[in-house]
Structure formats: structure tokens, C-alpha cells
Structure 1
Amino acid sequence: MTPATIAVRTATLEIACEVRGPETGPAVILLHGFPDDVRAWDGVAAPLAGAGCRVVVPYLRGCGATRFLDPGTPRSGEQAALGHDLRALMDALRLPRALLAGYDWGGRAACVVAALWPERVAGLVTGNGYAIQDIAAAARPAAPAQELRFWYQWYFHTERGRAGLAANRRALCRLLWELWSPTWRFAEAEFERTAPSFDNPDFVAVAIHSYRHRYGAAPGDPALAPIEAQLARQPRIAVPTICLHGADDGVAPPETSAGHARHFAGPYARRVLPGVGHFLPREAPEAHVRAVLELLAR
């Protein structure tokens, strides 16, 4: 089933989306991470549409054909921006409620909406658990091995890192694919289908801001401050949730989500996927299809 490509206008963005499945089916929104795009969900979206779901796969801000409407809008990559974008997309599509599935940045957007606006969320499939950042505690160092895995974040804190991402965005992103999913042997053609999304004019600005803001090293968008204030309280998520975590994740090993049940007030299940790295829907599409359909059947 070939997806339809639509442009959805919110107050801030024109969000490019791929849409599949019957309009009357239960709504499912699939959210990609960094550095990635909607192609991450090809192995998930088609089976869900075939099962009768209305599947929406948006390009996040700074990716693909998604564009800011106003040149003066801060190119924020903060968690409040991602969650706000998702809720605004649902409003623009007139979706009162949807099942949300995401990983990495997309998982963060899904967790934000599930935590703050649970009435809009039928269920949550989250990669690597509770993805809402605790910015107040961000200065606390992690174990040395984890600090090493986050090398790219420290790099992006420097102007050299900004220039490096701008000049070498495809090579750097490809390196992250290799490091974060060390047992995944992706075809070069698969990366090349996604790489044009990194040519978005706001890709670098949004990415750099995301990695600086989460450590308190860059100010947030003032318009999003009320959302960030709510997220600072680390709100629990009450909607039915399935957490998927790759056993071979090279940037966030399974132990990073081992204690996340405390962040969930509703039904919660955690599944570690053997032989799978960070790019979860690309590497384990069937597990995502099963998780989504399981939650929809509740």
C-alpha cells in the first residue's frame, strides 16, 4: 500500500506526513528519532494499515520536508517543542485520540503527550522507556562508559561540533547508525533513502539546540516554558504502555530503562529485544506491529 503524502499546517510548522490505511480506522502515529526519518517505520506502517489502522508518520521538526512557517521562530529541539508539535499535529488532523509509538526523539514526543495530555492517547509504545528528560539533574555525571557513548552530545556542545554536523551531516549520521546499532547490517541503499532528510535547512540548528538545551546549556523557546515547567516535575504516564528496548543498543544499553516502571502509573510492560540495537522499528518491525495491535485490542 503506497502512502499518501500530505502537508499539515499548525501554528508553527508545516509538517510533512505519510498517511496510510482507512480514514475510519483507529489512529496510530509513528514517530521517528534522530538521526532518522519516516522510512524507519516502513516495516510497521504498512502492516498496521493492512490491519485497518489509520497510520500517520510525520517528519519531525528539522527533518525532511517539514518546515517552520516563520523565520523568527526559535529552532528549538527541546522536549517541549517535540511534544507540542505532536499535540498540534493531532489537533490539525482532528484526531481526538491516537495510539502513539516512537523511539529516540519520537519516543520523547510520545511520552510528553502521554504524560501531559493522557486523554489524547489510546496507548503508548516507547523505545527505551520513559524518555522525558530530567534537566535539573542533567549535570550529574553518568558512569564513564555511558559518558563515552554520549561523545556526540559533548561534541555538539562546541562550535566545532556545530560546524562538523553542518559540514559532514551524512557521514556523521551514518557513523551514529553504525555505533548505535552495532549488530545491524543495514544496506547502503537504506541509509541513502533517509539521508536527504538531513538536508533540511533547520536540521543542524534543531539538533544542536536539542543536545544543548537538555543539559541547561541553551535557553528554551519562551513560548514553550509552561510545558517545560510541567515536564520538570517528571510526570508519571498513566496510559497503557509497552516499552521496547534493544539488547544491543550501542548508545542506551538495556540497563538504562531497567528501573523505568516507577515512571508509569498505568499498565506497563517492558520487552528487551535480542539482536536489536537503537533503531528499533527498522530492526524489529514485527515487535512494534504486535505491540501496537496488542494495545489497541485492550
Structure 2
Amino acid sequence: MTELRTVQTPTLEIAYEEHGPADGQPVLLLHGFPYAPRGYDAVVPPLVAAGRRVILPYLRGYGPTRFLAAETPRSGQQAALGKDLLDLLDALAIPQAVLAGYDWGGRAACVVAALWPARCAGLVSCTGYNIQDIAASVHPASPEQEHRYWYQYYFHTERGRAGLAANRAAIARLLWRLWSPHWDFDEASFAASAAAFDNPDFVEVVIQSYRHRYGYAPGDPALEPLEAALSAQPPIVVPTIAPHGEADGVGPVEGSAGHARFFTGPYERRVLPGVGHNVPQEAPAAFARCILDLPPG
């Protein structure tokens, strides 16, 4: 059984798992919504075999990760996710690491790579550039994309908040099916990740995240300088590989086709046939290969 560790940052007690040699190149694997570190179980072994030190944190609002203070806003905004990742690197005394993630985790990795590039030896970001352009969110997307985002608009309502509180596992299971239409996951695999949604702050963090990105909820005042920096859509200079599932049911593959403009360093986009949104769990070998194919740091 994997040993669960914790470390304190200025805001959180972050729970994480660690594998591989302590002196190996650090690789942080970052999960998304509604997922958990269990999605990386098949990604870890090839990385450890290659001598990497692999760290899997639970994001704020997930699993055993906890806020230190009751008064800290339960924000899920992109600046919070990025700052949590930077604080985790500091708390673990890791000067530089490969950052790899998808969905919320990919966003956290992109934020650190963009704003603190010296801390990022390389980036693997599913669906490409994941920093939100909140100012542009006022413009409607295509009807097809608006339909895919139904859950976000649901969370904008108090009915959605109540629904997530009452049915968090059922909503997550539905999203897994919709976003990964060719992935025949079993109930045991789902339950292993769904246990992380029982965190007392899960609902508030999720609701704030999906409201903030459209300007429907205020952010944490302490994070406003970071949000201002992110509003400029800063380029990412570190070496990057961007896998994108060809069957992604929430972020269609054409969405990342033009993302090379956001990357000023080495950049490669890899389209994965038949794979949906949860790339690490659906195609673990391909995801691990992306990490191992990054140029040496």
C-alpha cells in the first residue's frame, strides 16, 4: 500500500504520495476534476523504472488535503491552483521539477510554467495551453461546446450547488462517461477516485472554480496579482508536450490545434486516437512516454 504523506504550505496541509528514488528528477503528476491521483497508478511504474522521483498531490478540496484556516476562501480559481503547486515545490524543497497534468492539474502546471518558468524543467499538459482567458469568457462558444459545458452552467446555480453536494459521485460518474466515451472503466476504478470527493471543501472549491472563470464569483483577494498576470495569457517558454485525446468529450481535439502560439520553447502536440479526457488513466503508457520524451532538464 502506498504511504500517504503530508506537508504544510502557507495555506494548506497537502496530502501526497511519493514513489521512486529520492535523488531522481522530480515529476509532479497533477489530477483534474472530477478525478484523483489514482488516475496515475499505471503511469508511475515506468517513470520510477526510469529513475524519476514521482509525487502525486491531492489538489485543494480533494482527499486528505485540508485548509489550515477557516477564513481562507475556498477558491478553485486558476491562480489558487498554480500558487498551491508553487507552494508545494517550496515546501518539499524542490527547486525544479517536470510538471504533468490534465484538466485542473494541467492548468496548475501551465500557471507555474508560465509565471515561474525556472521552477519547471518541462511540461506535459493535456489539451495544450490551459490558462483561462476569463475576460473572453463573456463571448458564447458554439452551441455544441455550450452543450458540453452543461455541468458548468448547472454549477452556476444554487440548484447546482445542492446537486453537487447531494450527488457528487453520480455527477462525476456521468462526466467520466461523457468525457471518455470509449473508456470502459469499472466500478472499482471509479470508486477508488471518487473517495477523494468526500473532502469537506470539495463542493465549495468546485462551485467557486466554475463560477469564477466566468466572472460570476469573486476570487481570493490575495490572489488578484496572479490573476492579473494570467489575464495577459503569458507564453510558456519551457519544453512542452501536449497530448490530446482524439475522443475527448469535453475539450474537442480541434481546440488545441492552434495552441503552438502560446509556447515559445520546444513544443509538440500529440493526438491520441480513441482516447478521451482522462489521458493518464486511458492511455498511461502514452502519457508516461510524453514525460520521458521531454528533453533533459
TM-score by length of 2: 0.99
On the 8 A contact 2:239/2:295 being kept in 1, the answer is no
Tell me, in whole angstroms, the C-alpha distance in 2 between the residues paired with 1:289 and 1:110: 16
Tell me, in whole angstroms, the C-alpha distance in 2 between the residues paired with 1:26 and 1:239: 16
After superposition, what is the alpha-carbon deviation per residue over 1:61-107, rounded to whole angstroms, capped at 9, x for unaligned? 00000000001100000000000000000000000000000000000
1:192 alignment partner in structure 2: 191
Q: Displacement, 1:294?
A: 1.1
Q: Displacement, 1:296?
A: 4.8
1:146-161 paired onto structure 2 within 5 Å: 146-161=145-160
1:66 equivalenced with 2:80 (yes/no): no
On the 8 A contact 2:137/2:214 being kept in 1, the answer is yes
SS of equivalent residue, structure 1 residue 183: coil
Structure 1 residues 122 and 112: alpha-carbon distance in aligned structure 2, compared to 1, 3 A threshold: same
Amino acid at match of 2:122: G
SS of equivalent residue, structure 1 residue 250: coil
SS of equivalent residue, structure 1 residue 154: helix
On the 8 A contact 2:161/2:207 being kept in 1, the answer is yes
Q: Displacement, 1:297?
A: 3.5
Tell me, in whole angstroms, the C-alpha distance in 2 between the residues paired with 1:238 and 1:174: 36
Tell me, in whole angstroms, the C-alpha distance in 2 between the residues paired with 1:47 and 1:14: 29
Amino acid at match of 1:44: V
Amino acid at match of 1:283: E
Tell me, in whole angstroms, the C-alpha distance in 2 between the residues paired with 1:16 and 1:48: 21
1:142 alignment partner in structure 2: 141
After superposition, what is the alpha-carbon deviation per residue over 1:95-135, rounded to whole angstroms, capped at 9, x for unaligned? 00000000000000000000000000000000000000000
After superposition, what is the alpha-carbon deviation per residue over 1:130-178, rounded to whole angstroms, capped at 9, x for unaligned? 0000001001000000000000000000000000000001101100000
1:288 equivalenced with 2:287 (yes/no): yes
1:90 equivalenced with 2:80 (yes/no): no
Tell me, in whole angstroms, the C-alpha distance in 1 between the residues paired with 2:31 and 2:45: 15
Amino acid at match of 1:213: H
Amino acid at match of 2:158: E
State the 4+ residue runs in structure 1 displaced beyond 3 angstroms.
none
Q: CA RMSD in A?
A: 0.8
SS of equivalent residue, structure 2 residue 146: helix
SS of equivalent residue, structure 1 residue 122: strand
1:242 equivalenced with 2:249 (yes/no): no
Tell me, in whole angstroms, the C-alpha distance in 2 between the residues paired with 1:16 and 1:190: 20
Tell me, in whole angstroms, the C-alpha distance in 1 between the residues paired with 2:15 and 2:78: 20
On the 8 A contact 1:125/1:291 being kept in 2, the answer is yes
Structure 1 residues 79 and 129: alpha-carbon distance in aligned structure 2, compared to 1, 3 A threshold: same
Tell me, in whole angstroms, the C-alpha distance in 1 between the residues paired with 2:246 and 2:58: 27
Tell me, in whole angstroms, the C-alpha distance in 1 between the residues paired with 2:280 and 2:162: 30
1:1-298 paired onto structure 2 within 5 Å: 3-297=2-296
On the 8 A contact 1:44/1:288 being kept in 2, the answer is yes
Q: Displacement, 1:4?
A: 2.9
SS of equivalent residue, structure 2 residue 171: helix
After superposition, what is the alpha-carbon deviation per residue over 1:177-213, rounded to whole angstroms, capped at 9, x for unaligned? 0000011000111001111111100000000000000
Structure 1 residues 21 and 296: alpha-carbon distance in aligned structure 2, compared to 1, 3 A threshold: farther
SS of equivalent residue, structure 2 residue 60: coil
Higher mean C-alpha deviation, range 161-170 or range 39-48: 39-48
Tell me, in whole angstroms, the C-alpha distance in 1 between the residues paired with 2:174 and 2:293: 34
Tell me, in whole angstroms, the C-alpha distance in 2 between the residues paired with 1:26 and 1:33: 23
Once the two structures are aligned, what percentage of the paired residues are identical?
A: 65
SS of equivalent residue, structure 2 residue 293: helix
Tell me how many residue pairs correspond in the alignment.
Answer: 297
SS of equivalent residue, structure 2 residue 196: helix
Tell me, in whole angstroms, the C-alpha distance in 2 between the residues paired with 1:267 and 1:194: 33
Q: Displacement, 1:46?
A: 2.1
Any gaps of 5 or more consecutive residues in structure 1? none
Tell me, in whole angstroms, the C-alpha distance in 1 between the residues paired with 2:217 and 2:53: 38
Tell me, in whole angstroms, the C-alpha distance in 2 between the residues paired with 1:286 and 1:49: 13
Q: Displacement, 1:3?
A: 3.5
On the 8 A contact 1:4/1:20 being kept in 2, the answer is no
Amino acid at match of 2:234: P
Q: Displacement, 1:50?
A: 2.0
Amino acid at match of 2:3: A
SS of equivalent residue, structure 1 residue 288: helix
Tell me, in whole angstroms, the C-alpha distance in 1 between the residues paired with 2:24 and 2:3: 16
TM-score by length of 1: 0.98
Amino acid at match of 2:63: G
Tell me, in whole angstroms, the C-alpha distance in 2 between the residues paired with 1:6 and 1:102: 20
Amino acid at match of 1:103: Y
Q: Displacement, 1:292?
A: 0.8
